[in-house]
C-alpha cells in the first residue's frame, strides 16, 4: 500500500498546547516530517487540531491520536484531520474513520487484533507498545499478515533502535516521548527530529 506521506515517521505531540503547537510543527516540517499526530489527551486539542490543519494542512498530513470512540472520530473529521491513530483495535472507530475518508493507523498487539483491524478497513497497523514486544515479535507477526499492510512501531522507538524495527518489517514508526515531551524547548524538538531523520536515512540507504 502506498503511504499518504513521504517520510514514514509520525510525529506524536502528546501534551502540546495550542499556543506552542505552530512553532513546533513548523520546525518539524522544516526538518522533513510530513505527518503530525496530536493525541486527544493533549490540552485543548479541539483548538490545536483545526489550527494546525489551517496552518499546515497543505504541507503535512495533520491528524489525531488516542482516538477511542466514534464521537471523537466525528470531532476529528470536523476539525479537518486526515490521519487517525488509535492505541487499540475498535471496529466501530475504524469504520467511522473509513466513512469520513480518514487514513488510519490502528493500534494492535496480536494477530487477532491485527486481522480485526484489517477486516474493519484499517489502512495500516500500529504495533503498540513496540518496546514491550521487540523487533523479533514484529517480524513474527508480519509473517502472517498480508505483505502489503504497512506496519508502524510505536512506543519506545529511539534513533538508536529505529533500524531494528525497520529491519523487522516495519515501514516506519510513530515517535512519541523520544521526539517530543510536553513543554520541551523548540531547540530540543529540532535536535530530536534531526536525529530521527538521520537514523532513518542511515537505515534505508
Q: Strand 151-154 relative to strand 83-85: parallel, antiparallel, unpaired?
A: unpaired
pLDDT of residue 115: 98
With pLDDT > 90 as the criterion, what percentage of the chain qualifies? Answer: 99
Taking the C-alpha atoms of residue 163 and residue 86, their distance in angstroms, rounded to an integer, is: 23
- Asked if the model's pLDDT at residue 135 lies above 90, the reply is yes
Residue with cell 490502528: 106
**Average pLDDT, integer, range 87-110:** 98
Mean pLDDT for all residues in the chain? 98
Distance CA(36)–CA(29), nearest Å, equals 9
Helix (H, G, I), strand (E, B) or coil at 127: strand
- Give the pLDDT score at 101: 97
pLDDT value of residue 1: 72
Question: Does residue 3 carry a pLDDT above 80?
Answer: yes
Cell of residue 50, nine digits = 483545526
User: β-pairing, 124-127 with 9-12?
Assistant: unpaired
Q: Is the pLDDT of residue 84 over 90?
A: yes
Rounded average pLDDT over 24-29: 98
Let me know: does 148 contact 128? Beta carbons within 8 Å. no
The whole-number pLDDT of residue 99 equals: 97
Confidence at 177, pLDDT banded by 50, 70, 90: very high
Over residues 10-39, the mean pLDDT reads 98
pLDDT of 10 > 80? The answer is yes
**Vertex 42: Cα angle to 118 and 89 (nearest 5):** 15
- CA–CA separation, 116 and 94 (whole Å): 10
**Above 90 in pLDDT, residue 73?**
yes
- Tell me which residues are annotated as active site: 37, 126
Angle at 69 between CA 83 and CA 130, to 5 degrees: 60
Which tens digits make up the pLDDT trace of 29-68?
999 999 999 999 999 999 999 999 999 999 999 999 999 9
Model pTM score: 0.97
Amino acid at each position: 500500500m502506498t503511504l499518504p506521506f513521504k517520510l514514514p515517521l509520525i510525529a506524536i505531540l502528546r501534551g502540546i498546547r495550542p499556543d506552542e503547537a505552530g512553532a513546533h510543527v513548523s520546525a518539524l516540517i522544516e526538518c522533513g516530517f510530513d505527518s503530525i499526530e496530536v493525541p486527544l489527551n493533549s490540552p485543548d486539542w479541539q483548538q490545536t487540531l483545526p489550527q494546525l490543519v489551517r496552518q499546515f494542512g497543505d504541507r503535512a498530513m495533520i491528524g489525531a491520536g488516542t482516538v477511542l470512540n466514534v464521537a471523537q472520530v466525528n470531532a476529528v473529521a470536523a476539525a479537518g484531520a486526515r490521519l487517525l491513530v488509535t492505541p487499540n483495535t475498535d471496529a466501530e472507530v475504524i469504520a467511522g474513520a473509513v466513512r469520513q475518508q480518514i487514513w488510519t493507523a490502528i493500534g494492535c498487539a496480536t494477530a487477532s487484533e491485527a486481522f480485526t483491524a484489517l477486516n474493519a478497513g484499517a489502512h495500516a497497523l500500529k504495533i503498540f507498545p513496540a518496546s514491550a514486544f521487540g523487533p523479533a515479535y514484529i517480524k513474527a507477526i508480519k509473517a502472517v499478515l498480508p505483505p502489503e499492510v504497512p506496519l508502524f512501531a510505536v512506543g519506545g522507538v529511539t534513533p538508536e533502535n529505529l533500524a531494528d524495527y525497520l529491519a523487522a518489517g516495519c515501514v516506519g514508526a510513530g515517535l512519541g516521548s523520544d521526539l517530543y515531551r510536553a513543554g520541551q524547548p523548540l531547540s530540543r524538538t529540532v535536535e530530536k527530529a534531526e536525529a530521527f531523520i538521520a537514523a532513518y536515512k542511515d537505515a534505508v540507504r
